[in-house]
Chains A and B, each alone.
Chain A
Amino acid sequence: MDTKVIKPEAEGRGDRTLKIVGTSPVRPDGVPKVTGLARYGADYALPGMLWGAILRSPHAHARIRSIDSSKASALPGVKAVITSADFPEQKYEFVGPERVAINFWHMTRNVMAREKVLYEGHALAAVAATSKIIAEAALRLIEVDYEVLPHVIDVDEAMQPGAPLLFEDMITRGIDPPPNEASNIAKRIEFSIGDLDAGFAAADEIVEMNFKTAPVHQGYIEPHACLARFDNKGQGEIWAASQGHFVVRAFTARLLDMNIGDVLVHPAEIGGGFGGKTVIYVEPLAAALSRKSGHPVKIMMSREDVFKATGPTSGASMTVRIGVKRDGKLVAADGVFKFQAGAFPGSPVMNATMCGFAPYNIPNVRSVGYDVVCNRPKSAAYRAPGSPISAYAVESVMDAVAAKIGMDPLQFRLVNACRTGTPTVWGPKHAHDGCAETLKALLAHPAYAAPLGRNQGRGVASGFWFNNGGESSATVHVNEDGTVVVATGSMDIGGSRASMAIMAAETLGIEYEDVRAIVADTASIGYTHVTGGSRVTYATGIAVVEACRKVITELCARAAMIWSVEKDQVSWEDGSARRAGAGKHEPLSLKAIAAKRALTGGPIGAEASVNAGGAAPGFASELCDVEVDTETGSVKILRFVVAQDVGRAIHRSYVEGQMEGGAVQGIGWALNEAYVYDDAGHLLNAGFLDYRIPVASDLPMIETVLVEVPNPNHPFGAKGAGEVNIVPVMAAVANAINNAIGRRMTELPMSPPKVLAAIHTAPGK
């Protein structure tokens, strides 16, 4: 609500006068979204369309002895039944970068179980029929013979010798020499700098604590859904809500053994993703059913399916130890982070190990991570994946350390805040500021000095996230009337069309209303990586600005032709071409040049594709006030302030919206949300009634402070804004509870029974 903008001394191009950047115009796709006409993944239909339904495992872990679908196939109205036999086997190899290394052997098994089902809800067959009701009835006719196996879900238990193994031959990667026994530990990671033992030896005070967190779901309101139309000639189309239609195309083509160019993916509007829609679930199944039946097939997941079979993030078990000098200087830090990967390797533990200590200048650090498979759905990215989990542990210990040496927790962080040149645990030095600025913003905020009442407490915490860059494409076309269409390959998940239109209008020097921004399908624009990692405003924004600059060059050339002067005599200013020299000549507006486009060479437009580097990381520092009901253990959030370095806000309201939304997701993670399993490995709360995400009446207005330390690598100074806001939240809430009741909450969620139990335990233990 109460929004503050802090602009540190203008640096680089930061002081340029901007007309549209930083304002909050109405988004170009707004009207269809308030009138119900926008089409999301589930809103597409085609003539002759069939409904797909998916058979899911009732067991947490079982061998599939056989699947008999003959009765289902014989049911009138059923047009196709598929199992893993309809997908080619994939080679066992990790391809791509380490943290996100994809193993298609795993992916095809996650989409459709082969030898075993590895979690309750694991897909193992699918049906297409003329109605939803028939499709559901057909599922009940499929006979599966299971050999139920012992299962394991908790990360510490999964790491024990003798734990039930998900993959009987999986040897831990990242240990030299490799262990000779199989285990559930897919990978070990270690980063370190300095001399850890010497660092701790030099410390005056050391605090060590253990933490546990529960798996939580991204909780997007739109369940996964898609429509597919494939023919048996090897071509097809998909309408899907995803965070990246190019990724849907690549993965689906691979799992179906098709050429990428033979699959066309249309970007449906997406009803939230938060990382969870960067991977595929239903798309290859709908495609295979369509290919087999010869009809378009639509699949919609139920909310229960979403909880049971799509990406929660990891639950974790962590130990963090921090050593400090009496004057407040950090000297050593050690973290061990064990993350559930879910049924297949690939938790975000590497990010956790890298981000946890990143806000601080610590000379001696070791950060170790374990990626551990267990019988729950495979983890998927969730907002700054991994970082909020390690931050919960690190920032709780930081709070305890500050208390131990009697320092103000924000001052303590500020003394140790990283700056440009501070070494990181992963090797290179930080290349950007922003951490200290968010801390200073919070120190200066009136909330930090506001009085607290009985059973109330205040907590603060900071966080770091790598914002991403990478591959993006954009086209800019000047229409006949001088208006402009900007197309990009980035799915719009939270108003990015508006940001793209702002950057284009600002670059071209025209009105925002004269620019329309759209999201193009996979055949109409160059490859663009997912909408994730807070990369769109940065990388796709750079592509848009580059395309606009090319258009300006062309507009100047056309103006030069009209004026019969050399091109270098023409410059572009405020939306018009101007002639050098005497000021007699009327400038030529974009509209005027567009009107003469045919006479000067035809339509005017340009495409730009980039692999954008130099994305600056994001920092956030946050404050939380709570009131604890000591009768019930319930925690009320009284006040929450997010101070985040956003580089420069392009669309102010949507940047605030990211900060507000991230804070609230974190509050849910802190206080309520958790996957709850019974002894058989069944998820007990696969619905929004029992998996309770924050509702409007739980919350105060979230207060935002936009700290703007521009990134000189972006034309307007933008840094990603989508993710780091969630990183400090759980620690800020935990620290506030500690401040209120004198108890450290070392397990998430901090639900009423746990808080009550803590209240009834002696303080300090």
Chain B
Amino acid sequence: MAKHHVSATLNGNDVEFLCETQQTLLEVLRDELHHTGTKEGCGTGDCGACSVTLDGRLVCSCLVLGVEARGKSIQTIEGMAEGTSLHPLQRKFLEHAALQCGVCTPGILIAARSLLERNPDPSEEEVRFWLAGNLCRCTGYNKIIEAVLDAAREMRGG
């Protein structure tokens, strides 16, 4: 069967790709567009390692088909820093040692940015519940939560 031709934007740039019907957006990003920053932890929507935004909506890219991205704006971890300057969340994750192995980090950063866009002043509990779909096996979450709260504080200008 012929592959599908899809046009979309990836981190603000126009992209075009060919994909099979059953290929997920995660596979398209990693295998076709060579953006391997988005990780596969489960492929079933249970770990959040593949988190991206699609037209601003936080999704598990392993649960979205590549063809569903047609005409949409995809944001991945590779587009989070502006040029050479890291997003405050990225900086705070480094300062707080909020990553050990780092494989959950891209997904958590994308999810956390999405939270702060909606709620610039979340409580600890709100951060914990927002990130409940993003598994981290290394850190016990302490430093992730601290980094998100600290980044929120900085972004609010406090």
Q: How far apart are the CA atoms of A45 and B27 in the complex, in Å?
A: 14
Interchain nearest-CB distance for A495 vs B (Å):
6
Q: How far apart are the CA atoms of A646 and B41 in the complex, in Å?
A: 31
Q: Are B104 and A702 in contact (CB under 8 A)?
A: no
Q: Are A39 and B137 in contact (CB under 8 A)?
A: no
Convert B46-81 into 0s and 1s, putting 1 for each residue whose CB lies closer than 8 angstroms to a CB of A: 110100000000000000000000000000111011
Q: Are B133 and A695 in contact (CB under 8 A)?
A: yes
Interchain nearest-CB distance for B83 vs A (Å):
11
**Contact A37/B140 with A27-B94, A696-B131 known, Cβ cut-off 8 Å:** no
Residues from chain A with Cβ under 8 Å of B100 in the complex: 272, 493-495, 654, 657-658, 661
Residue of B nearest to A272 (CB): B101
Q: Are B145 and A701 in contact (CB under 8 A)?
A: yes
Interchain nearest-CB distance for A500 vs B (Å):
15
- Return the contact of A272 from the options B40, B97, B103 (Cβ within 8 A): B103
Q: How far apart are the CA atoms of A1 and B146 in the complex, in Å?
A: 9
Residues from chain B with Cβ under 8 Å of A300 in the complex: 40
Residue of A nearest to B99 (CB): A33
Residues from chain A with Cβ under 8 Å of B36 in the complex: 36, 39-40, 42-43
Q: Are A654 and B97 in contact (CB under 8 A)?
A: yes
Q: How far apart are the CA atoms of A37 and B34 in the complex, in Å?
A: 11
Q: Are A696 and B145 in contact (CB under 8 A)?
A: yes
Interface size on B, as a range, is: 35 or more
Q: Are B86 and A36 in contact (CB under 8 A)?
A: no
Does A271 count as interface, using CB distance less than 8 angstroms?
Answer: yes
Q: Are A34 and B97 in contact (CB under 8 A)?
A: no
Convert B105-130 into 0s and 1s, putting 1 for each residue whose CB lies closer than 8 angstroms to a CB of A: 11001000000000000001101110
Does B132 count as interface, using CB distance less than 8 angstroms?
Answer: yes
Convert A115-138 into 0s and 1s, putting 1 for each residue whose CB lies closer than 8 angstroms to a CB of B: 000000000000000001100000
Q: How far apart are the CA atoms of A285 and B144 in the complex, in Å?
A: 37
Interface size on A, as a range, is: 35 or more
Residues from chain A with Cβ under 8 Å of B44 in the complex: 303, 687-689
Q: How far apart are the CA atoms of A493 and B101 in the complex, in Å?
A: 5
Q: How far apart are the CA atoms of A654 and B78 in the complex, in Å?
A: 25
Interchain nearest-CB distance for A92 vs B (Å):
36
Stretch with Cβ within 8 A of B (4 or more), from A220-228, A609-617, A739-747: A220-228
Q: Are A36 and B136 in contact (CB under 8 A)?
A: no
Interchain nearest-CB distance for A25 vs B (Å):
9
Does B13 count as interface, using CB distance less than 8 angstroms?
Answer: no
Convert A251-270 into 0s and 1s, putting 1 for each residue whose CB lies closer than 8 angstroms to a CB of B: 00000000000000000011
Residues from chain A with Cβ under 8 Å of B99 in the complex: 30, 33-34
Q: Are B101 and A494 in contact (CB under 8 A)?
A: yes
**Contact A660/B102 with A35-B90, A221-B49, A697-B129 known, Cβ cut-off 8 Å:** no
Q: Are B132 and A661 in contact (CB under 8 A)?
A: no
Residues from chain B with Cβ under 8 Å of A219 in the complex: 137
Q: How far apart are the CA atoms of A693 and B31 in the complex, in Å?
A: 28
Convert A677-696 into 0s and 1s, putting 1 for each residue whose CB lies closer than 8 angstroms to a CB of B: 00000000001110001011
Interchain nearest-CB distance for A532 vs B (Å):
14
Does A160 count as interface, using CB distance less than 8 angstroms?
Answer: no
Q: Is the interface of B mostly helix, strand, loop or mixed?
A: loop
Residues from chain A with Cβ under 8 Å of B137 in the complex: 218-221, 272, 274, 661, 665, 693
Q: Are A660 and B86 in contact (CB under 8 A)?
A: no
**Contact A699/B140 with A36-B37, A688-B135 known, Cβ cut-off 8 Å:** yes
Residue of B nearest to A651 (CB): B97
User: Within A18-45, which residues are at the interface with B (CB < 8 Å)?
Assistant: 24, 26-27, 30-31, 33-40, 42-43, 45
Residues from chain A with Cβ under 8 Å of B103 in the complex: 40, 220-222, 269, 271-272
Q: How far apart are the CA atoms of A38 and B100 in the complex, in Å?
A: 13
Residues from chain B with Cβ under 8 Å of A133 in the complex: 20, 22
Does A319 count as interface, using CB distance less than 8 angstroms?
Answer: no
- Return the contact of A271 from the options B39, B93, B132, B134 (Cβ within 8 A): B39
Most buried by A among B80, B81, B125, B137: B137
Q: Are B34 and A45 in contact (CB under 8 A)?
A: yes
Convert A694-708 into 0s and 1s, putting 1 for each residue whose CB lies closer than 8 angstroms to a CB of B: 011111011000000
Q: How far apart are the CA atoms of A219 and B35 in the complex, in Å?
A: 25
- Return the contact of B140 from the options A26, A274, A660, A689 (Cβ within 8 A): A660
Residues from chain B with Cβ under 8 Å of A751 in the complex: none
Q: Are A660 and B104 in contact (CB under 8 A)?
A: no
Interchain nearest-CB distance for B151 vs A (Å):
12
Convert B8-41 into 0s and 1s, putting 1 for each residue whose CB lies closer than 8 angstroms to a CB of A: 0000000000001010000100110011111111
Does A302 count as interface, using CB distance less than 8 angstroms?
Answer: yes
- Return the contact of A699 from the options B105, B141, B146 (Cβ within 8 A): B141
**Contact A695/B135 with A35-B86, A36-B37, A223-B41 known, Cβ cut-off 8 Å:** yes
Residues from chain A with Cβ under 8 Å of B27 in the complex: 132
Interchain nearest-CB distance for A300 vs B (Å):
7
User: Within A564-585, which residues are at the interface with B (CB < 8 Å)?
Assistant: none
Q: How far apart are the CA atoms of A661 and B138 in the complex, in Å?
A: 5
Residue of B nearest to A691 (CB): B46
Does A626 count as interface, using CB distance less than 8 angstroms?
Answer: no
Residues from chain A with Cβ under 8 Å of B22 in the complex: 133
Residue of A nearest to B36 (CB): A43
- Return the contact of B135 from the options A274, A495, A693 (Cβ within 8 A): A693
Q: How far apart are the CA atoms of A702 and B146 in the complex, in Å?
A: 12
Q: How far apart are the CA atoms of A698 and B131 in the complex, in Å?
A: 11
Interchain nearest-CB distance for A380 vs B (Å):
15
Task: Enumerate chain A interface residues (CB-CB to B < 8 A).
Answer: 1, 24, 26-27, 30-31, 33-40, 42-43, 45, 132-133, 218-223, 269-274, 300, 302-303, 493-495, 651, 653-654, 656-658, 660-665, 687-689, 693, 695-699, 701-702
Query: Which 8 interchain pairs have the tightest Cβ spacing?
Result: A36-B37, A271-B103, A660-B140, A36-B77, A653-B97, A664-B140, A688-B46, A33-B102
9 A-B residue pairings within 8 Å (CB atoms):
A30-B99, A223-B40, A271-B102, A493-B101, A657-B140, A657-B143, A663-B140, A693-B137, A702-B140
Task: Enumerate chain B interface residues (CB-CB to A < 8 A).
Answer: 20, 22, 27, 30-31, 34-44, 46-47, 49, 76-78, 80-81, 86, 90, 93-97, 99-106, 109, 124-125, 127-129, 131-146
Q: A132-B27, A303-B42, A660-B139 are in contact. List 11 more A-B contacts (CB 8 A).
A: A34-B106, A36-B76, A40-B36, A42-B40, A218-B137, A221-B137, A271-B102, A271-B103, A657-B139, A660-B142, A693-B137
